[in-house]
Amino acid sequence: MVRNFNISKSQIAVPALTLSLVLFVSACNGNSGRRDDSSVQDFSGPQLMGHGMASKTVSLTFDDGPGPRTVELSKFLKAEGVQGTFFIQGSAAARYPEALKQLRADGHLLANHSYTHPRMTASTDPVGEVRRTDDLIKPYVDQGHFLFRAPYGNWSGSVANILNAAGLTKYVGSIFWDIGGERVERADGSLAKAADWACWAEDDKIEKCLEGYMNETRDLNRGIILMHDVHSRTIDMAKLMVKELKDDGFDFVRTDAVPSVVAALAKRTNKGDTPPPDAYACPAGFTATPVGNAGALLCLSAEEAQGPFTLGMQASCRENGGGDACANTRWSKGLAVWLHGSGRCPAGSTLDAQLNACIEGDEAFGPFTKKQVARCKTLSADPDSPVCEGNRWSKAFLAGVGQG
């Protein structure tokens, strides 16, 4: 769709805006609606909620932590036989590293709530927000269970598309909530609905706030409940809430067992059938990132792509006015993604099914897996040779290294 887009040398030498242009052009299905959509996969425009949950079932979710009492809450829930879902804010996790371990040990689900808690539709680095927190929580999350909740529920189809294009397709979201989104006071001063942060801002008693949560929960009879474990009073309230919900006959499930979330997880592009992108070797600062829908990978940073690129890509680069810069081993991300094309292999190369690699002439193109790089080093006469870390090996050498 951008075939008529001319390339200037400056777009090759400096980070280009081409990719973001492509993304924004294709992001016209933006939708910040708060509704389920059974067709979703990966990150989706519509947010996921608790419709379809069994009667008398709730999912307790805790955002913005960990905080000073998260470990205490984790142990309390475990003792009560309740598994919760904790949407971790990366910058907070850095302060309470032990909490993540404890949450996992107690059977709770760790999920992603960005790193700095921005409005995602206004963030200049939505990918970094998800990725930085992913780096912190992924040791404690099983494959196939990666959930994201946007701070403030601030979300759009454009943000979903950007995150998907960056290869974060092991995630689904954004996960919204059914209960706990707002504090609604009745004429008699009691609460029809409650939101913990709003209760504490009004200096409500814990019992009053709890009553608001319980009233909304009884009205809906099911749902995802939003709280924030960074507030000490929320910890005290959550303890009372668990007892009261149990007395009312409610069951508790983690958010990865909520039907809309289960369905989204089942439809993800990246189901772990292929090695996850971080199993591939890319230079520091670069991540193996899916390009198009055919299983192609490029080593990308926020702004650049790591070559070397195929002769076919270099020829198109020159045809489009890139000149000598087309021989560089780093291009702007937008240019590389565009000239790569939408197939499994970059323009000018073809897939060798036996080697499971893209071949041009007698050369094979990476990124190669970390296992292959390790084997390359053991097979090389010079284990420090830069060849193993590079993205272009001879076809014959790759055959010796093997798949993996």
Q: Is 151 in the site for Zn ion (CB under 5 A)?
A: yes
Residue 296, SS3 per DSSP: strand
CB of 89 to Zn ion, least distance (A): 7
Stretch that binds Zn ion, among 71-79, 145-153, 202-210, 350-358 (CB under 5 A): 145-153
Instruction: Note whether 108 and 86 are within 8 A (CB).
Output: yes
Edge-first strand order for the sheet with 330-332 is: 287-291, 296-300, 304-306, 330-332
Stretch that binds Zn ion, among 151-159, 274-282, 300-308, 395-403 (CB under 5 A): 151-159
**Smaller CB separation from Zn ion, 64 or 178:** 64
CB of 151 to Zn ion, least distance (A): 4
Residue given tokens 């709003």 in the structure block: 198
Q: Which structure tokens are listed for 281?
A: 């070797």
For 339-391, give the DSSP string. Answer: HH-SSSS-TT-EEETTTTEEEETTEEE-PPBHHHHHHHHHHSSSTT-TTTTSS
**Smaller CB separation from Zn ion, 87 or 365:** 87
- Contact pattern for Zn ion over residues 38 through 67, marking x by CB under 5 A: -------------------------xx---
- CA–chain centroid gap for 342, Å, is 22
**Smaller CB separation from Zn ion, 87 or 213:** 87
**Smaller CB separation from Zn ion, 151 or 341:** 151
CB of 94 to Zn ion, least distance (A): 16
Residue 266, SS3 per DSSP: helix
CB of 77 to Zn ion, least distance (A): 19
CB of 63 to Zn ion, least distance (A): 4
**Smaller CB separation from Zn ion, 151 or 366:** 151
CB of 51 to Zn ion, least distance (A): 22
Please give the Cα distance from 117 to 297 (Å, whole number): 29
**Smaller CB separation from Zn ion, 64 or 216:** 64
Which residues touch 45 (CB under 8 Å, ≥6 apart)? 29, 30, 31, 32, 33, 37, 155, 156, 157, 160
**Smaller CB separation from Zn ion, 63 or 106:** 63
Q: Tell me the CA end-to-end span of the chain in Å, nearest whole number.
A: 34
CB of 87 to Zn ion, least distance (A): 7
CB of 196 to Zn ion, least distance (A): 11
What distances in angstroms separate CA 11 from CA 296, 303, 304, 329, one per listed residue?
23, 11, 11, 14
Stretch that binds Zn ion, among 51-59, 149-157, 369-377, 393-401 (CB under 5 A): 149-157
CB of 152 to Zn ion, least distance (A): 7
**Smaller CB separation from Zn ion, 85 or 332:** 85
Please give the Cα distance from 341 to 137 (Å, whole number): 33
CB of 226 to Zn ion, least distance (A): 9
Stretch that binds Zn ion, among 21-29, 78-86, 143-151, 208-216 (CB under 5 A): 143-151
Please give the Cα distance from 52 to 198 (Å, whole number): 28
Q: Is 134 in the site for Zn ion (CB under 5 A)?
A: no
CB of 324 to Zn ion, least distance (A): 49
**Smaller CB separation from Zn ion, 42 or 196:** 196
Q: Which structure tokens are listed for 18?
A: 């081409």
**Regarding beta strands 85-88 and 109-112, do their DSSP bridges make them parallel or antiparallel, or are they unpaired?**
parallel
Q: Would you give the DSSP letter of residue 14?
A: S
Residue 268, SS3 per DSSP: coil
Please give the Cα distance from 327 to 309 (Å, whole number): 8
The count of chain residues that interact with Zn ion, using the rule CB under 5 A, is: 3
Instruction: Note whether 124 and 118 are within 8 A (CB).
Output: no
Please give the Cα distance from 345 to 351 (Å, whole number): 6
Residue given tokens 């040990």 in the structure block: 105
**Smaller CB separation from Zn ion, 137 or 357:** 137
**Smaller CB separation from Zn ion, 70 or 391:** 70
- Contact pattern for Zn ion over residues 251 through 290, marking x by CB under 5 A: ----------------------------------------
Q: Is 229 in the site for Zn ion (CB under 5 A)?
A: no
Which position's Cβ is nearest Zn ion? 63
Residues near Zn ion, by CB under 5 A: 63-64, 151
